Amino acid sequence: MLESDFSQRGVEDTTLGRTREHVRQHNLSTILTTLHKEGSLGRNVLTQRTGLNRSTISSLVAELEALGLVEEVASTAPQGAGRPTLVVSIHDSVVAFAVAIDIDSIVVSLVGLSGRVLKTVRRRTPDAPAARTAIVMARNIINELRSDLDAGTRIVGVGVALPGQVSVSDGVVSEPAFLNWKQAPFAQRLGEEINLPVFVDNDARLGLLAEHDFGAGKPFSNIVYLVGHAVGIGGGVIEGGRPLRGTRGFAGELGHFRMSPPVNMPTAGFSGTLSTSVQRDDLLEALGETTIDDKKLEKALLASSSARVRRVVETQIDRLGIALAGLINIFNPEAVLLAGFLGILQALDPERLSESVKAHVLEQSWAQTQILRTQPGSDLLMIGTSELAFAQLLRDPGSFAFSRGANLKAVESE
Amino acid sequence: MLESDFSQRGVEDTTLGRTREHVRQHNLSTILTTLHKEGSLGRNVLTQRTGLNRSTISSLVAELEALGLVEEVASTAPQGAGRPTLVVSIHDSVVAFAVAIDIDSIVVSLVGLSGRVLKTVRRRTPDAPAARTAIVMARNIINELRSDLDAGTRIVGVGVALPGQVSVSDGVVSEPAFLNWKQAPFAQRLGEEINLPVFVDNDARLGLLAEHDFGAGKPFSNIVYLVGHAVGIGGGVIEGGRPLRGTRGFAGELGHFRMSPPVNMPTAGFSGTLSTSVQRDDLLEALGETTIDDKKLEKALLASSSARVRRVVETQIDRLGIALAGLINIFNPEAVLLAGFLGILQALDPERLSESVKAHVLEQSWAQTQILRTQPGSDLLMIGTSELAFAQLLRDPGSFAFSRGANLKAVESE
DNA sequence: CCTTTTTGTTGTCTATGACAACTTATATCC
DNA sequence: GGATATAAGTTGTCATAGACAACAAAAAGG
């Protein structure tokens, strides 16, 4: 099953006329989405938030309850005088699978509609997996998790986070940065294997999506996001509350942001793109390490007193600042979010990064921009990936067709 | 009168609940906007376009007619068998003023709700005008035009296009590229003078908006736009059908796009940006000219057989290509629109420009991108500017309060 | 235990788009 | 030129979703 209706949040065909049913759909969607993003809320909060009448909320919540999407429980914490409000919570009997494929591992999470990660399976791969290998491994893990599910559990689908360029319209992986796949119709193949709707997107965009909905980016609607991987740098942009996509979904690949002219122009210093100018491996090399994770890398950098390490760090911070300045000039964001080893760089010397940006940015564009680091080591990428699969349900809760949890066609046929 | 509710097309607070009246508002808005963008349409076309029932269209059109916004006329051209359809047209008794302030002139147009430019007054200024001068001149021209209006004419407001950074939230001009104004509260001042709502925005963004709605950009919803001025290069981006704005409205200033690494020497202005790398003056210099308009410049470039001119043109095309490649990597647009002298460069040698882009772009991002030139010498900037003032009316036709055409408070007090 | 306060429920009302039957107006065919 | 076919506008009825108001319920506080 390949789904072509991807998570185009906020993209509505405004030329269309709206009917009464659209109102209902919109309001159901609003309530479910609000609960999804903010957790359990009292009915009173929902009335305030939506501006709808109490009776309307009552009717809408009842409908969502009938759909088996939410449940109402008596509030535990007392809230002062008056009749206590009922708290509306999202059922985690509705789930999605999130698959993240990385250079050395495949991770599959089971994520509930509440946005909680219920289970995670990480399986290492000997090398960067070929497309076929990745599909088979993902299928196997999903089927294992699937067979453990309660009978009543309903699955909305599978979201997949891939590094590199992913064509969102047809789920074809065009140029995966680390995996060396070429035009792999990943979504379709995996969909056929597991008989579930599969949605594919760029991992950086999904990470950003999760940061925007649940993480450090929550307060902002204009964000520039950069994530430093073991190899390469991914990026994404939120503009006006919506992710930048471009025609085929290739927009916002900020790792390719050019920092020096490719040819024929006077270079002064370094050359290449952000990905080639700021590399995690250079930090490892300066430290004399080969392979360590971000947590250890940060510790090592903090502990090190080597002049060489300091020089490398400073160079990278300066370069990062120049790139950020260019991006801030273009996007005028409220916040810049740095993840992965770029977050470490920022944490090591926020002042220096700030100064480097300041030296190369348009004053006005920069005036209200904050540079923030994301919370390291969180589940947010998996949550963002599951959002891909939840999107349709959240957009139109009334008419969504689930896949059955127990019906393990793929397992049976193995 | 300063208006803080600017043209945030497509930005809806989706967390809000919708009621029945919103449906009506949406549908009225849809019909009026469709007519505004596409001109007179038959009622049958409206039904197809909106998907609404004939009877509903009837009711909606009747309401718009009662509001004095549209009129129905019998179709002139016969359309085959069957009862002829009534054509719905927009009244041009609803108007806006569009003001464009340039380095050597101030232009004010009277634009009808149909999107037609009804009158234009261009007044040269001895030098780049100071903010006060510009306000006084704009006020005077507006008042002249205003006193000529029919009694029944209703004015929605004034849109102003300014070069450089404009803070859309409060109408303060932060860093006007050519005018050397500093933090001028332009919108407020002009609003006080003429007692009309005033909306200010960056001229490049408004040019792009018009290209998107009425010009070469109509078929696309992801556009990168660059306009070459006499001095400097402006830019804008349409992403997912909406203009890029950023936090304060400074996003999309692509003229500052960096093409070579910043030298640590503090030069006056930025070195190595698109604006400084591709300059109209260099073309003039090579031609041995001093001041000519774009039309003559194009002729002269086409006629010239000088090797020096060719070299300059080729260099500029190559550099433009590099910049475009960088922007295409970031935005993955459907189309790149080039206006002003950049359009001339493209027309001179589309192949070369294409090759230059191709050499530096990510293959996948570029695969479906077209490079187009805008129609030179059109009224589109003024139309785009008027859109600023029309936006509110188009968004909620039912509850819009007009300013009276005849009530010339400002004129009387002179 | 009664009052106060807040919240949920129920029944009625209104507005809006859908639908279907009817009317109108033109083109075409004989 | 009149009958017929075709397309489009009009009108009245219907269904539905949210607003509103009155009422009931469930605590907290005296």
Do A225 and A201 share a structural domain?
no
The enclosing domain of B40 has a CATH number of: 1.10.10.10
Parallel, antiparallel or unpaired: strands A154-162 and A94-101: parallel
Average pLDDT for chain A: 86
If we measure between CA atoms, which residue out of A180, A185, A214, A212 comes closest to residue A198? A185
pLDDT range class, residue A107, cuts 50, 70, 90: very high
Show the CA angle centred on residue A353, arms to residues A349 and A359, nearest 5°.
145
CATH of the domain at A173: 3.30.420.40
Confidence at A261, pLDDT banded by 50, 70, 90: low
State the angle between helix axes of B20-38 and B380-395 in degrees (0 to 180), rounded to the nearest 10: 160
B95 pLDDT more than 80 = yes
Q: How far is B197 from chain A (nearest CA, A)?
A: 24
* C-alpha–C-alpha distance, residues B142 and B355, integer Å: 47
E strand spans, B145-254? 154-162, 165-167, 172-175, 198-202, 223-228, 233-239, 242-243
**Are the C-beta atoms of residues B205 and B325 closer than 8 Å to each other?**
no
B335-340 and B223-228 strand pairing: parallel
Give the integer Cα–Cα distance in Å for B208 and B252: 11
Residue B212 lies in a domain: no
Are the C-beta atoms of residues A319 and A270 closer than 8 Å to each other?
yes
The answer to whether residues B258 and B272 touch, using CB atoms and an 8 Å cutoff, is: yes
Instruction: Name the residue with higher pLDDT: B121 or A183.
Output: B121
Distance from CA of B94 to the nearest CA of A (A): 22
Q: Does B271 touch chain A (CB under 8 A)?
A: no
**Can you tell me the distance from the alpha carbon of A339 to that of A205, in angstroms, rounded to the nearest whole number?**
12
Is residue B211 included in any domain, yes or no?
A: no
Is the model's pLDDT at B70 over the cut of 50? yes
Give the β-pairing of B70-74 and B86-90: antiparallel
Q: Please indicate, yes or no, whether residues B241 and B345 belong to a single structural domain of this protein.
A: yes
Q: Which nucleotide is nearest to A63 (CA to C1')?
A: D17
Least confident of A88-92, B4-8, B105-109: B4-8
- Statement: residue B185 has pLDDT above 90: no
Looking at per-residue pLDDT, the higher value among A129 and A28 belongs to A28
CA atoms of A371 and A383, how far apart (whole Å): 23
| DSSP strands (E only) in A39-130 | 41-42, 70-74, 86-90, 94-101, 105-112, 117-124
| Domain end call among A66, A90, A114 | A90
Size of chain B in residues: 414
Residues 6+ apart with CB under 8 A from A166: A172, A173, A174, A176, A200, A201, A202, A249
* Domain assignment of residue B321, yes or no: yes
First to last CA, chain B: 18
B242 and B192 belong to one structural domain: no
> Do residues A217 and A337 make contact, with C-beta atoms less than 8 angstroms apart?
yes
Instruction: Summarize the confidence of residues A387-397 as an average pLDDT.
Output: 94
Element (H, E) at B207: helix B203-214
Are B40 and B91 spatial neighbours (Cβ–Cβ below 8 Å)? no
Asked which of A90, A113, A142 is the last residue of a domain, the reply is A90
Name the residue of chain B whose CA is nearest to A23's CA: B18
Same domain, A266 and A297: yes
Asked if B302 CB < 7 A from strand C, the reply is no
Phi, psi dihedrals of residue B104, rounded to the nearest 5°: -130, 10
- The contacts of residue A90 (CB under 8 Å, 6+ apart) are A32, A35, A36, A40, A69, A70, A112, A113, A114
Q: What is the pLDDT of residue A74?
A: 82
Work out how many domains chain B is built from and give that number: 3
Tokens found for residue A30: 């609003």
Q: What is the pLDDT of residue A232?
A: 87
Statement to judge: residues A335 and A318 lie in one domain: yes
First to last CA, chain A: 18
Asked whether the beta carbons of residue B362 and residue A22 sit closer than 8 angstroms, the reply is no
pLDDT band at B149 (very low <50, low <70, confident <90, very high): very high
Mean pLDDT value of segment A361-390: 92
* Touching A: B residues 195-224, CB under 8 Å: 222
Span CA (A26) to C1' (D17), Å: 12
Confidence label for A103 from pLDDT (cuts 50, 70 and 90): confident
A155 and A228 share a domain?
A: no
Task: Note whether residue B252 is domain-resident.
Answer: yes
On whether both B71 and B180 belong to a single domain, the answer is no
Is residue A256 located within the same domain as residue A363? yes
* Better-scored residue on pLDDT, A9 or A237: A237
pLDDT of B77 = 67
Q: Which of B62, B90, B118 is the last residue of a domain?
A: B90
Q: B401 beta carbon < 7 A from strand C?
A: no
C1' (C21) to CA (B56) span, angstroms: 16
* Nearest-nucleotide field for A72 (CA, C1'): C8
B221 and B369 inside one domain? yes
Q: What token pair was written down for A33? A: 């989405």
Please report the pLDDT score of residue A408 as a whole number: 43
Among A245, A361, A38, CA closest to B365: A245
Residue of A nearest to B277 (CA): A265
A12 occurs within a structural domain: no
Average pLDDT of chain B, as a whole number: 86
B42/C29 CA-to-C1' distance in Å: 28
* Residue range(s) defining the domain that contains residue A342: 218-373
Chain A hits for B251, Cβ within 8 Å? 222, 239, 330-333, 365
Q: Residue B324 and residue B309: Cα distance in Å, rounded? A: 22
B358 found inside a domain: yes
In A, residues 169-198, which contact B (CB 8 Å cutoff)? 174-175
Nearest residue to A379 (alpha-carbon basis) of A111, A146, A30? A111
B62 interface with A at CB cutoff 8 Å = no
In a shared domain, residues B126 and B252: no
Instruction: Kindly state whether residue B2 falls inside one of the protein's structural domains.
Output: no
Which pLDDT band holds residue B210 (cuts at 50, 70, 90)? very high
Residue A252 is given by DSSP the state: T
Scan residues 12-41 of A and list those with Cβ closer than 8 Å to B. Answer: 14-20, 22-23, 26-27, 30, 33-34
CA pair distance B334, B365, nearest whole angstrom? 9
Tokens of A28: 């159901």
CB contact under 8 A, B239 and A244: yes
Residue B11 in any domain: the answer is no
Residue with tokens 């704009």: B138
Q: What are the two backbone dihedrals, phi and then psi, of residue A53, each rounded to the nearest 5 degrees?
A: -70, 150
Residue A394 token pair: 């959240």
B330 touches chain A (CB under 8 A): yes
Tokens of B212: 């998107």
B82 and B98 in a single domain? The answer is no
Least confident of B152-156, B251-255, B409-413: B409-413
Both B114 and B194 in a single domain? yes
